[in-house]
């Protein structure tokens, strides 16, 4: 795996292309960028055909162990890996431990095991079982097993944080040893997981130690939305990034809100999970970024919109509410269940080229949502994924053109479209 950076701001953002991803040597992914979120290899709400009405899909598909752990025997018998099993073509496969949307209960980690929750309940994984799963799945890259509980509940004492860093390093060493001895995993990359909760000292220690190991990149865990204030998160990520080698990618887990994404990119993050469009879809909303959706990324941010919302900025300078934010409608979306859309015969977003916007209007989506039609999820998911990808594309255009500040003013301040 090669990370070719075209632009690096000292102590700040990085712009470039990730190439030769694991064994998928013909694939590349522009950074900052996001992965394709799936459950058991399928994007929620979408079939293979509807998914592929979208262009420029991320070239790395994320698979979560908790969604496949119960199929271990079948996959082991199949022998050809998950990509072939699930009919995933022309994509790299990244395997993570937990689903970013579903919070796992705390208190089930021991020195030798972590737990994941399948549909039938809790499943305890040792490094041996974790690696047997990787061997059966044959991903192109995967995170090493990690104790990432420090951001949950009462598990955040200094002592507990230190233990999580120690355990995660021990798991990584064990994973790497088995990785090197497993023929099925040759050519795949291991991402070392950086833990350390909200402790600067432990974050730096975890990053330094992980960077000493032969990993292909880094997974920054424990920074999930709701786990800490945004300013503390970016400060810690900045410190961690300072300890990591420049030529390896950094994937941030559990952060998807556009304003948080931009702040973390500025702190040195390259890759994000893309569960956010799914969360927006689940609450019956549509993403409405104030992007110039022209296909030419260079032009993406040159036309500045009017500065229109002072209130949003002051909201943002306040503290992040440390609560479950999954249900909270962010300023980047419109709530289509609102009766004001009942007779609105305009597309969700003017100029968005997705299937939903080219064929349907807000009023139809409103009708589908209030009558609980399954089609609402399909259409919204298509639109929200298209918008989220366009957001990342515009962000890269802004970084390339030295237009980050205007981009932030315009896109992050955009309130819901009336």
- Considering the complex, what minimum distance in angstroms separates the CB of residue 344 from Zn ion? 14
- Considering the complex, what minimum distance in angstroms separates the CB of residue 348 from Zn ion? 5
Instruction: Kindly state the tokens that stand for 194.
Output: 């950086």
Q: How far apart (Å, rounded) are the C-alpha atoms in residues 223 and 233?
A: 6
User: DSSP assignment, residue 251?
Assistant: E
205 contacts Zn ion (rule: CB under 5 A) = no
3-state SS of the chain: helix, strand, coil percent to 5? 40, 20, 40
Instruction: Kindly state the tokens that stand for 409.
Output: 């003013």
- Considering the complex, what minimum distance in angstroms separates the CB of residue 377 from Zn ion? 14
Question: Judged by CB under 5 A, how many residues of this single chain contact Zn ion?
Answer: 5
What's the residue count for the chain?
Answer: 418
Helix axes 375-400 and 362-370, enclosed angle (nearest 10)? 130
Beta carbon nearer to Zn ion, 179 or 360: 360
Write out the binding residues for Zn ion, residues 293-352 only, by CB under 5 A: 352
Beta carbon nearer to Zn ion, 227 or 384: 384
Q: What is the dihedral sign for C-alpha 189, 110, 130, 87?
A: negative
54 contacts Zn ion (rule: CB under 5 A) = no
Residue 340, helix vs strand vs coil:
helix
Q: How far apart (Å, rounded) are the C-alpha atoms in residues 139 and 141?
A: 5
Give the Cβ contact number of residue 412 at 10 Å: 22
125 contacts Zn ion (rule: CB under 5 A) = no
Candidate residues 131, 354, 385, 411; the one interacting with Zn ion per rule CB under 5 A: 354
285 contacts Zn ion (rule: CB under 5 A) = no
Candidate residues 137, 145, 175, 357; the one interacting with Zn ion per rule CB under 5 A: 357
Of the candidate spans 33-41, 90-98, 232-240, 376-384, the one that interacts with Zn ion by CB under 5 A turns out to be: 376-384
Site string for Zn ion, 377-396 (x = CB under 5 A): ------x-------------
68 contacts Zn ion (rule: CB under 5 A) = no
Residue 17, helix vs strand vs coil:
strand
- Considering the complex, what minimum distance in angstroms separates the CB of residue 354 from Zn ion? 3
The footprint of Zn ion (CB under 5 A) covers 352, 354, 356-357, 383
């Amino acid at each position: 795996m090669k990370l070719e950076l075209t632009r690096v701001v000292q102590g700040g953002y990085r712009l470039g292309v990730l190439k030769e991803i694991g064994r998928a040597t013909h694939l590349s992914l522009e950074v900052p960028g996001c992965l394709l979120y799936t459950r058991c290899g399928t994007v929620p709400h979408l079939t293979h055909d509807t998914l592929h009405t979208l262009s420029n899909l991320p070239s790395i598909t994320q698979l979560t162990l908790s969604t496949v752990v119960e199929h271990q025997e079948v996959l082991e018998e199949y022998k050809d890996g998950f990509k072939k099993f699930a009919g995933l073509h022309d994509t790299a496969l990244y395997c993570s431990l937990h689903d970013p949307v579903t919070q796992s209960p705390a208190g089930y980690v021991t020195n030798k095991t972590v737990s994941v929750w399948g549909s039938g309940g809790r499943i305890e994984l040792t490094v041996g079982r974790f690696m047997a799963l990787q061997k059966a799945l044959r991903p192109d890259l995967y995170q090493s097993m990690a104790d990432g509980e420090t951001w949950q509940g009462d598990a955040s004492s200094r002592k507990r944080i230190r233990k999580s860093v120690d355990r995660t390093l021990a798991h990584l060493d064990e994973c790497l040893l088995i990785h090197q001895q497993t023929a099925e995993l040759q050519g795949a990359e291991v991402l070392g997981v950086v833990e350390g909760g909200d402790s600067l000292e432990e974050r730096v220690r975890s990053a330094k130690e992980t960077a000493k190991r032969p990993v292909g990149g880094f997974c920054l865990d424990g920074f999930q939305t709701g786990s800490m204030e945004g300013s503390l998160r970016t400060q810690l990520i900045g410190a961690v990034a300072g300890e990591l080698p420049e030529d390896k990618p950094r994937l941030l887990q559990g952060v998807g809100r556009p304003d948080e994404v931009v702040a973390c990119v500025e702190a040195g993050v390259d890759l994000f999970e893309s569960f956010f469009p799914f969360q927006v879809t689940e609450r019956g909303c549509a993403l409405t970024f104030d992007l110039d959706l022209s296909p030419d990324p260079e032009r993406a941010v040159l036309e500045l919109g009017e500065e229109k919302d002072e209130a949003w900025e002051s909201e943002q300078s306040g503290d992040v509410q440390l609560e479950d934010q999954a249900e909270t409608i962010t300023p980047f979306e419109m709530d289509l269940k609102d009766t004001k859309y009942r007779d609105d015969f305009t597309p969700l977003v003017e100029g968005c080229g997705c299937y939903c916007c080219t064929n349907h209007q807000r009023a139809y989506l409103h009708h589908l949502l209030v009558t609980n039609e399954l089609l609402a999820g399909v259409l919204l998911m298509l639109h929200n994924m298209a918008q989220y990808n366009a957001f990342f594309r515009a962000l890269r255009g802004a970084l390339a053109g030295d237009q980050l500040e205007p981009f932030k003013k315009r896109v992050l301040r955009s309130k819901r479209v009336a």
